[in-house]
Chain A
C-alpha cells in the first residue's frame, strides 16, 4: 500500500522505555498489513534522525516521548517538533502524539492554520507500573491497560478507520477498562482507575477527524 508511517521509539528513561516497548503492537500490525513503517529508535530519535525518516508518501506520525505544550521531544528531550519552528512538517498529516501536553498548543496551532489531524493530550499522559517490571515493561500487566487502550488510536487508523472513530474507540476502551477495574476491590485499582480517567479526559482530537490512512 502506498502509504508510509513514521514512529518514534526513544528509550532513555523508564517512561520512554515503557512507551516504546508497548508500541511493538503498532509496528507488528503495520508489518502484518504490509504497511511501510519507519521506526526511529533510541539515540536516533533526534530532530535530524526524525526528519530524515520522512518520505514523500508519509501520511502519519506516531510520537512517543516527553513533551510540552509547544513541543514533542525525542532522545534526551531533544525537540523533534517545535511550535513556530518546524510544525509545518505536520501539515496534511495524521499525528498521534503520546506525549504530555502537546495537544494544548502544538496540536491546536498546527492544524488551525494548516490542515491535517492531531490526536494528543492536554495533560500529562499517565500510567502506573509495577516496580519489579521496570526493566522488562512487556511483562507488566498493570501498565498494559494504559497502552492497550491508547494504542487503539494508531491501530484503528492502520485498520482503515477514520481518525475520529479511532480516537473514540480508544476512549471507549478506557471507560470499559475502568468499569472492569471497579468490579475488584484491590488497593492499587484506585490508582489505575484515576490514571486511566486522566488519559480519557485529556486525549483530544483536533482538525480533520474524517482523515484515514488510505
Chain B
C-alpha cells in the first residue's frame, strides 16, 4: 500500500513538472529572464526548465510559484483581486 502511494505521488510530481515546463515554454519569450531570488543571475526559460528537471531548490521554487498562481486562478482569488481595482 505504501509503495503504491509513493508511486502515485511520484507520478503526480512528474505530471506537475511537465505542466510547469509546458507553461514556461508557452509564456517565456527567449529574450526574457526571470529573477526569483536565486544568487548570481537571472534565468532564461531554458535554464528554468533545467532546474525543474534537476529537481533542485530553484526548480522547486519555480514550480511552487506556478502552483500558487494556478490556485489563485481556480479559487477566484485572482479575479476578485483584479476586479477590486476596476
| Chain A residues within 8 Å of B, Cβ to Cβ | 13-15, 18, 66, 77, 100-101, 123-132, 134, 142, 172, 175-176, 178-179, 182, 187-188, 190-191, 194-195, 197-198, 200-201
Contact = CB atoms under 8 A, between A and B. Distances in A.
B86 A179 contact: yes
B31 A131 contact: yes
A124 B82 CA distance: 21
- A contacts with B: majority SS: helix
Interface residues of B, number: 29
23 contacts: A13-B39, A14-B35, A15-B35, A15-B39, A66-B37, A101-B37, A123-B68, A124-B37, A124-B61, A126-B34, A127-B35, A128-B34, A129-B32, A131-B31, A131-B32, A132-B31, A134-B33, A178-B82, A179-B85, A188-B28, A191-B28, A198-B68, A200-B81
Contacts of A178: 82
B56 to A, nearest CB: 15
A194 B82 CA distance: 13
B27 A188 contact: yes
B34 A175 contact: no
B81 A175 contact: yes
B7 interface: no
Contacts of B32: 128-131, 142, 188, 191
A125 B37 contact: yes
Interface of B: 26-29, 31-42, 44, 61, 65-66, 68-69, 72, 78, 81-82, 84-86
B29 A188 contact: yes
A198 B34 contact: no
| Minimum-distance CB pairs A-B, first 9 | A124-B37, A190-B27, A100-B37, A175-B85, A188-B29, A14-B41, A194-B69, A191-B27, A129-B33
Contacts of A195: 34
Most A CB within 10 A of own CB, among B26, B41, B86: B41
Contacts of A197: 68-69, 72, 78
Given A66-B37, A130-B33, A188-B27, 11 more contacts: A14-B33, A14-B41, A15-B42, A100-B37, A126-B37, A131-B32, A142-B32, A179-B82, A194-B65, A198-B69, A201-B72
A9 to B, nearest CB: 17
Contacts of B66: 194
Contact of B42 (A129, A191, A194): A129
A126 B44 CA distance: 14
A124 B63 CA distance: 13
Given A14-B35, A123-B65, A175-B81, A190 B42 contact: no
A33 B11 CA distance: 58
Contacts of B36: 124, 126
Contacts of B27: 187-188, 190-191, 194
